[in-house]
């Protein structure tokens, strides 16, 4: 699963953390983080969907230490792909 977004934070002194915080198998997902983005503020992280993750609705949270945004995302049975975008402090966009 790829989560992408925009931030107005500086990468040299900020980190965007992305975590699956709710859903049938939420505890099986690893935390992801990035400190890499350009002057446009566009960042992305990949979160591996565990092989044993149950399909269902999950809550994914992105936070930068000051602001956090949470969105629901649907994990479908293997073979279906989806990309979600989040802007910490600016809302979500789905593509």
Print pLDDT tens along the chain (95 aa): 899 988 888 888 899 999 999 999 999 999 999 999 988 889 999 999 998 999 999 999 999 888 899 999 998 886 655 555 555 544 444 43
The count of domains in the chain is 1
Asked if 69 contacts 86 with a C-beta cutoff of 8 angstroms, the reply is yes
| pTM of the entire predicted model | 0.77
pLDDT in the model for residue 67: 87
Nearest to 64 by CA among 19, 1, 2: 19
pLDDT at 65: 83
Question: How is 13-59 classified by DSSP, letter by letter?
Answer: S--EEEEEEESTTGGGSPPEEE----TT-EEEEE-PPPTTPPSEEEE
pLDDT on residue 85 = 54
Enclosing domain of residue 44: 2-94
C-alpha dihedral over 58, 48, 70, 21, to 10 degrees? Answer: 60
- CATH code for the domain in which residue 60 is found: 2.60.40
Per-residue confidence (pLDDT) for residue 76, from 0 to 100: 84
- What local confidence, expressed as pLDDT, does residue 11 receive? 83
């Amino acid at each position: 699963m790829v989560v992408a977004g925009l931030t107005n934070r500086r990468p040299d002194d900020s980190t965007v953390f992305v975590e699956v915080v709710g859903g049938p198998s939420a505890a099986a997902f690893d935390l992801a983080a990035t400190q890499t983005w350009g002057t446009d503020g566009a960042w992305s992280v990949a979160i591996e969907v565990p092989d044993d993750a149950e399909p269902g609705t999950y809550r994914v949270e992105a936070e930068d230490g000051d602001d956090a945004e949470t969105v629901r995302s649907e994990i479908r049975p293997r073979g279906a792909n989806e990309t979600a975008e989040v802007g910490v402090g600016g809302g979500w966009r789905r593509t």
